[in-house]
Structure formats: C-alpha cells, structure tokens
Structure 1
C-alpha cells in the first residue's frame, strides 16, 4: 500500500529524521556526545515548555532500529579445523573456532533490485552497443560486456530459466587495518554489488556497494606461521566461509524467482556469481594457486609475459584428478588440496571471474611499489648512497613545488613518508613525471609515461575498439622501455604478476565492460564508512559487534532517506518545511521562494544572475561531485564579492567591450584605434573565484557525470600568499584538443554593467603561449610559457568567463637544474618560465589536453 506524503514513520516529522541522519550518519557522534548535544538543546527548549527530538541516545537508536526499510539482520557461524591432528601437543590454530559474521546476500541483492534510488540506472538484460558511424564496439557498464551476454545465452538454453533476467552477484574483499597505534586491529570485510547497476551510480557511492560480511582472520604463534598445513587451512577457511555465506543464493541460480524491481515491475530473475574484486594476494587464495603464478593463465612465473593457455575449472579439476600434487604445484601452480568456493555454484569459474584491479595492480602495485622504488634503487646504483639521497631530495622538492589544484593532495615534504594510502599513490602519479626528468635516463621517463597512459586509458568511462588499440600501444611501449631497469642492473627479473596482469586487460574489458566499475577503489571508499568510522565510534571493546550494529543502522537511515526522497518529502529547506508544518500553512510547501534561508541567500548575492547558482570559493564540500545537472560545461562567478569604486585597467576594458559589441561583425579591437573603443568608468564588482562545472564521468562525479571545480583568484589565500589559478580558454574552434585552447592565469574575476544594460562577467588574465605546436616527445605533455610584452610587462587581457572551459594545472619544466632550497609551491608559477600542461591531473584533462 502506498504511503502518504506526510508519513515519516518511525519519525514524527522531517526535523526528527534530519536530526537523526545528521547525528548518526554525517557527524557519527558517540553515545556520550549525543546525550550532551541533546541535553544542551533541551535547555534552550525548556523555556518554551518543549523537548528536543530525542530524549537521549537510546531514544535515537530505538527510533532508527524501528525502521523496517533496509533491515537485514546480521548472522554468524563458526568453522574450525577438522582434519588429522598430530599426536601430542596440538597447535592452537587447530583447536580454535573461527567466527564469521554475515548478512543474507539474497536479501541484500533483492533490496538493491527494489531500491528506488537506482531506478533508471539498472540494466535487466545484457547488451552490445555499437557506434553507428564506424561500428565501434562500446564497452561501458558491466552488462555491456561479453561475459553477461554469454551467461544469458546459457540461461536461455534451459526452458526452466529461459526469459529470466540475469542478476550477476559481484563480490569484493579487502583486508583493512583500522588502527596501528592501539595494536594491529585488522578486519576482513566482504562486499557485494549487482552487476546490473550502472558504473556511474557505483562510483558516486550511492549505496550500490553493500557490506555483507566479515571473514575470519586466523592467527597463530610465530613458530607455526610458516607451517604449510596452517597456510592451507587459512586459505580453505576463506573458501568454506564464502561458500556458506552465499548458500542462500544458490537455489536462485537455477530456479527463477519473481522479484519486485525499483521501476515498479515484477520480473523473473536468476542469480549467478560474477567477478570477484581482490588484490593479487587474495587472488592467489581465491584461485587456489601458488604465489607468483597467474590466476587466469598458465604462464610460467619466470616468463609471465610470454603468456599461456587460459585456466579453467574443468582443466584444473582434470589435473587434480590425474596429476600428483607435487607436480601440480611445480608445473601448474595449483594447490591440489584446496577447493575453490565457486565449485559449489553453477556457471561459476574462479579463473574466469578474477576481476581487473586498477588500484592495487596498477597504481599501488606497479607505479608505487615497482617503478618508484626502482628509481631510488637506480640512483643509488649509479651515483652511490650520498649522491642518490641528494637527487631524491631534489625530486621531493620538485614534487612539493607543484602548484595547487582543486582536489590535489599536496606533498609538502615530497613522497618520503612510510604509510601510503591509495589516494597518496594516485596523487603522486599526477605530478611525478616532470619530477624525475633530467635525473634518470629518458627510457625510464618513457616507461613511466607509458604506464600512466595505460592507467588513464583503462580508467575511461567508455572503452571503444580504438581505445583498446591505444591501450595495446601503451602496453607495447611499456614493455619496450621498462627493460631499462634490467640493462642498468636495477632488476634481474621483471616477470611480476602485477605487471603481467596488464596483458589480460583487453580481454577483461571485453568480458566485463569498463574496469572503473570493478575497481577496488570503490571498496577503499566503503572501508571508511563501513569499517573505520564505525570502529572509531565504538568503545573499542568487542568492537565488531558494535560495528555490525552501526552498519545496520546506517543502512536503515539510508533506506529511509531514499524512501522519503522518492515520495517528495525532502524537497526544499528543512527549516521552512518545519515552520510550514508547525503553522499548518500548505501554501509554502516545497516553495523555495518563501524559504527565508533562500531569500536571505539571494539578498546576500544582490540578485546577481551570475552568483545564484554557485557557492563561495572556500566551500570545499561544493567541489567535486555534482548531481542532477545536465550541461556540457558552465562557469559561474561565486556569491562572495565586494564592490569597489575603482578605475582599474580602463584600456583593457575598452578593448574587451569593443570585441563583445562587435562579436558578430568579425572585427577585432586589434584592428581599430583605442579611441574607437567604448569606455567604461563605472563601478566594478570583484570576485574571488568562479565555479566551473563540466561533464567528467571518468573522474569522481555525480550520477550524471558532472564535476565542479573552483578557479580561484585570491590576493591573499588564508591570510597568506596569492592564489591565482590557471585555466583552459577556448580560442580556436577550428581545431580539437589542445590546439583549440590556450592556457591563462587568472588574476581577477569581476563583473560590471555597461550602459546598454548588459552585465558582463569577466576575468583579467595573463596569457601563456605554446612553446611548440606539438606535445613534448618525452613526457607527452604540451609545453607553455608566460607571455610578456616588449617592455617586460605581463601580456594581459580581459575575457568573458564563457570562454573559460575549466581549471588547468601547470608543472614547471625543471630540466637538469635542482630546485632552490626554500622555494614554496605558491611561488612556482612566478619563478619558472616554462611549464608542462599536466594532462595527468585528472581523467578529464587527460582527454581534453590530448
């Protein structure tokens, strides 16, 4: 039965729900802090003979617990070693029971299918997409790949399952440490998502990835840690646990179920195990293989890139039945005593289901753990320890000298720190290439460039046949240039599983669609909300039980928000809706024009049409992800401004006005004397930033692929130095890519109203010119330099902000010169005279500046 639009059950009203959502989900207060804030709130209401929304933390928790939506209870089971035990003293690990907590994945998957928030973002049938003009195959969301198509073909052959919608269950797991300071607190979360959900929804963290379990982590005394029986037991424990967790899904893999979907339709569905997202260490366990072997093919560890026959569970089972276990280990890399959990489920082959892993294989593995480390080893081998340290210090100073950029993690001390996160590795990739140029052989720079290009190509939102060709070319170049690490004596062997994984990416894309939908980055983000934050809010004693309950409540609050949103109950401001319901005045429901907060906001903006839609430059939360917009690109001035009655740059304004007024006449201010240009001596409003919004689906963005970046022009940033950002400006529509644009540095945003009544939002900019008409052969980046007039003054102009595309990031061309000690990152754009246009700063720039 449909709920009424004023049914907030189990909450009394919107204020209660918003309060619970803020306290429990956003702020994640401890029980003690909840009681304190409610106590203080209660004092302010006591004079009005009123009470806060909740009496105490128990009242808040009980209200959330009463939510029926999203309720999937936690269950547990225990496993223990049940094979032959030695006579005499038995190792502790053989005696212990290992507890596994999980939530029924069947119920979780059904809840995902019924989630109204995913309406319009789910594919119920596999598809192949081709571009009409050149018949290019487009690989995008998971259901666009060949694997889902093949599964559907197999399902259709059975009369009992023919016509059922295929629901692939994608699994992921990744051990994580919540605190090293208080002891090694490790957890082994297990995640689930369904492959039908579009990649953009998964990447926007819209609860498309669900926590379904915590696997056990066996531990033993050091003297037993290398015992082969113990190591095999740990691996089989994982398989047995996974088999038991997903057992409830097994009947639905052969017998279709009728299930309600988010679009309101009921469908016959049939489940199947899909790809498993895991790093290489976990892939070794999942594929029941020996370390250093590949889980997808039979390539020999000493020469992985020669390739080998694809593995399959039929071939593995045949070998296990006919070949000695010692030969299996040595010649096939198979641990014959282990049984993969996929053997318990129909149409599942673990060798086929090992997903690509951009984060651990490419970014943290190959880039950071391999190539960056090898550079240090090369420098020490060539120059000795003392000189190598000096060069590494300069590389660190070069990294630290990178100018600021929205969202860029800044390495103030270079890359010399011990605890690396995935975000650290991603940030270093963006600025590392120019930092090593001049300190290492060109072949090393080319090897880094090829790997970076491979990473950025494979991360694109839509992969085409042409993209796969580019991918293969980048891989070929990487294999060619990485041999420099062998010829210089840094490495004897470069046959490594993480690097070998690159040869499988073309097939994996064809099978599973664009890899950004299967990247372990989505699990890394989920770790924070599902594991680390619940652990921090726990008492730390028996923390797991508290973490389980916290996750259950978080799911309930999220489900309630989706329900209220879909019923139109969260439109407009909470403040006005509360007063509206309090005074029972329906005329203002959902009407932002009557919202005092909106009116006050508009009053602050002075009704500036270029200010209403964007926020202040220092509103960090407004940067990045943008939902519910559908434009290619847009630039808006910030709300914050101050009026100044000044007479700055009158000549530049006159030239600008002439070009604006005669834009359709094909005339230019350069062709007429200054006296023929209109003059303006009125007031000017100075702005400190503009917000550029553009489509960037391959970057962290909203579900519509929109992203926002603030371009700053601040004379003093946080009471410190100036902050004048650079930007791409459209200057020549006859070309594509970088040849259609110029790079500028923005010194000021302003607007003024001319006598014709038209308001002009503008920017005072300093031009950069292209050093060459082609990209740098070594780094692959365009090179620009600041432009100066004959008298040495800056080459300045005023442009309309409509010509600004987005922010640009420049990295100094260091050459072989060492960075001066004391150089600060905010001085780099003034000190250096040649720059690379950093196309690795994000994926949108990678495409834009190609």
Structure 2
C-alpha cells in the first residue's frame, strides 16, 4: 500500500495510538526532506520525533514489541537533528542512493556472471561498462553520434523537415506515438523554466463537439445554473465591490445586479496545467514541478474524471485556513467585452471542524450542500493553486472492492484532505504550530 494513503486506510481499524505513531513518523520523514531548514522547522522535527517515541510505546505495552525497540532505522533518526546542524539539510539524501548504486555495481554484474569465481567477472564487467561510458562521452564530443546514414541520405536528397537522427530521438518519437495512440497522457512531473510560486495555464486545445452556448454546455455537464454563475463571476471581475470571487458562491447575489450573458460563445477545455515551486519533490534543477488538472467527461475512453483542487482564499493564513477545497466540474474560456476569461466551474467542500483531525493530522471536508444542491461557483483559473488529493473517511466500515476512483467522491460523506500526497502538499497543508 502506498505510504501516502496508509494513514486514512488504518484510521478506525487500529487503536488511535498506532495511528498517531505512524503520523508522527510520517511527519518526521516529510519535515527532514525539506530543502532548507530553519529554527522553526528543526523545532517541528524535534517535536515529531518526541511524539513518535511517545506513541510507539503502545507497541511495547500491548506486547507487539515487548522486548523493546532495536530497529536500526528507527535508531538512526535520533541523530538527524544533530547532523543537520553540522552538515545542513539532507534534501533527499538517504540510503536508497547507495542501494541504487549497489544494484548497478554488484547485483547486475553478479547476474551476468556464471557464479564461479564471480568477483573477477564482476570487476571485469564494471571495468568494461566504464570504458563504454567513457567512449560514448568521447564520441559525442567528436560529433560521431550526431546523425546516421538515414540523416545523410535525407540531406543528400534535399528533403525538407527535421529528421529523427539519433537512436534516442527515435525511441522518444516511438514512445510519444504509442502514448498518443493509446490515449495515455502525462499527469505532470519536473519542468524547466523560471521560478514562480504558482502559475496556472489553460490547455490550448478546445473541444468543439460540445455546445457553444452556456445553456448547451450546462445541459451536457449537468450544471443547470452555469449562465447565472458566469454572470455572478463577471459582476466581481468587472470592478464591482463585493466578496472575493474566488470564494463567493454568488448564492446571495441578486442577478439583476450582474452583467447580461446568454449567447456568447464558450470554449470547453479538458485540462489545465498547474506549475509551482516544489524544491523538496523530485523536480528540475530550478525546483519547478507541474501537474495536470483535468475535467474530462470521458477520460481515456472509460469514465469521467473531474479533479479536486485547492483554491486560494487568503495570502495571510497558512494551510487550509488560507485555501478552500473544490472539485472542478468544467474548464472553459470565453470572450466578453474584448477580454478573454479562463474559468472553472467548481463544487465547493466545507471543513468539518476548525482544525485538522487529532489522530491523522489531516483536515476533513464534506461536500457543501444547501437545500439539497451542491454549492457552486465560477472562479478565475488563476485562483487555483494546485490539485488536491481527497481520501474517503470510511472509519470502521469496509470499502467495497468494486469502488473506483471515478465514483469515490459520490460514495463517501466526508473526506481527508491528504497532506501526505507529496512534499509540496505537506508543506502547503502542515500545521506548523502543532505541538
């Protein structure tokens, strides 16, 4: 089971002390991975370690580890704080690095040997691999690997257009063609570019198979009030005073105050890209990472996919106190009075409590429903921070084995906002005043 869904999975099935033990250890692991440490983060690290040692005593008192704790990796975390003061942030440095080198230098050469006097054969294998790597570097510098006979033939024939000249380029082209043919698309990863805290861009592709007016699209995407929501959005965007449009549902805003909107053409998009600064995650050299947020009624030809997101509410509060959680129901753009707007229609979620759950450390939310209807808004694309990972709160009840991701949001009543999805989500949602 992936570690980022482990806590919600066990909560309610095991004693709370076990949940809190796993939570403290997870928080320690995420905190220690930070690319920069401060006095405050090191205090948080020390507190997480103290809570881990406190709660893990339940394993001793319950008889699971009656003889005590002598696990090497649990012992090694006691030295992290001093080593960070001495050498700085480890920033992802761990034993898995040496393990990866051990595989290349020992395990793979061993498998290539005939198992008789294997050491000499392993050393010879490593020596030849080093020579091949050095030769490749030398050949590349000399230009000997730039192009092949096919490129020379194209050049001699005067064919236009860029040729795929190298083996790596051919493999990449084949891989891209395979993804395109199967309907597979990337969901994000490291990306080069200037460092920005967060940036949203709409996909350039529009889908003309949908209607072009608000009424047609509202019927296709089951958003009956779409036209009214757009009018309320325009009320805020065109300079009228009032609540922040990123968090205002418009339910109390009289429509007679809103600009007219009925026959204007609307373009439907299936995705948008969130680019944000995430130096602790596997990112590019500049620390930038991207992810794709989707609102696709037929994802990969099977089921609908409507992602959940964080929406910026206030820059003056940390974590979920400064954000709201919503589900994207539609990504669209339109032009109004010579200006183009990129928007999202969203369902809102309400916080169940004033703070995170005491056992898991995660906020719990539920769909915002008034008078039997979801509270919805149209928001500006730029108010979206990034995707949110919600996990249903099952408690002690069994989850059906046939439950799929596309219907999970309609099955559960409440959801954990997963701060352990990745390091950026942890930094975004972690309550740094937790003791």
Aligned residue number for residue 204 of structure 2: 639
C-alpha spacing 1:455/1:675, structure 2 compared with 1 (3 Å): same
C-alpha spacing 1:721/1:465, structure 2 compared with 1 (3 Å): same
1:491-539 deviation digits (Å, cap 9, x = unpaired): 1123313222121111111222212353233345567877889999x89
Does 2:298 align with 1:721? no
* Count of matched residue pairs: 381
* TM score, norm. by length of structure 1: 0.41
Aligned mates of 2:304, 2:290 — CA distance in 1: 22
Aligned residue number for residue 275 of structure 2: 693
Does 2:29 align with 1:455? yes
Among 511, 515, 519, the alignment partner of 2:86 is: 511
Aligned mates of 1:829, 1:820 — CA distance in 2: 14
How far apart are residue 462 of structure 1 and its match? 0.8
Aligned residue number for residue 629 of structure 1: 194
Aligned mates of 1:672, 1:705 — CA distance in 2: 42
State the SS of the aligned residue for 1:692: strand
How far apart are residue 640 of structure 1 and its match? 3.1
Among 693, 711, 716, the alignment partner of 2:293 is: 711
C-alpha spacing 1:527/1:812, structure 2 compared with 1 (3 Å): farther
Which structure would you say has the larger Rg? 1
Does 2:15 align with 1:435? no
C-alpha spacing 1:514/1:733, structure 2 compared with 1 (3 Å): closer
Higher RCO (CA 8 Å, separation ≥ 6 residues): 2
Aligned residue number for residue 374 of structure 1: none
Aligned residue number for residue 502 of structure 1: 77
State the SS of the aligned residue for 1:686: strand
Within 5 A, what are the aligned runs for 1:355-754? 415=1, 428-496=2-70, 497-516=72-91, 518-523=93-98, 545=124, 548-554=127-133, 557=136, 618-620=184-186, 623-643=188-208, 644=210, 645-647=212-214, 648=218, 649-662=226-239, 672-678=253-259, 679-754=261-336
Q: Which runs of 5+ in 1 are unaligned?
A: 1-414, 416-427, 565-569, 586-593, 598-614
How far apart are residue 674 of structure 1 and its match? 1.0
* TM score, norm. by length of structure 2: 0.78
RMSD value, Cα: 3.4
1:374-419 deviation digits (Å, cap 9, x = unpaired): xxxxxxxxxxxxxxxxxxxxxxxxxxxxxxxxxxxxxxxxx4xxxx
C-alpha spacing 1:544/1:745, structure 2 compared with 1 (3 Å): farther
Aligned residue number for residue 147 of structure 1: none
Aligned mates of 1:715, 1:451 — CA distance in 2: 39
How far apart are residue 476 of structure 1 and its match? 0.9
State the SS of the aligned residue for 1:847: helix
C-alpha spacing 1:757/1:547, structure 2 compared with 1 (3 Å): farther
Does 2:355 align with 1:774? yes
How far apart are residue 641 of structure 1 and its match? 2.4
1:683-731 deviation digits (Å, cap 9, x = unpaired): 2222211111101111100000001111122212222222211111102
Does 2:403 align with 1:823? yes
Q: Which runs of 5+ in 2 are unaligned?
A: 116-120, 164-179, 219-225, 431-435
1:797-848 deviation digits (Å, cap 9, x = unpaired): 1111100101111111111212134222332211001011110111111110
C-alpha spacing 1:676/1:471, structure 2 compared with 1 (3 Å): same
C-alpha spacing 1:818/1:752, structure 2 compared with 1 (3 Å): same
| 8 Å Cα contact 2:318-2:429 kept in structure 1 | no
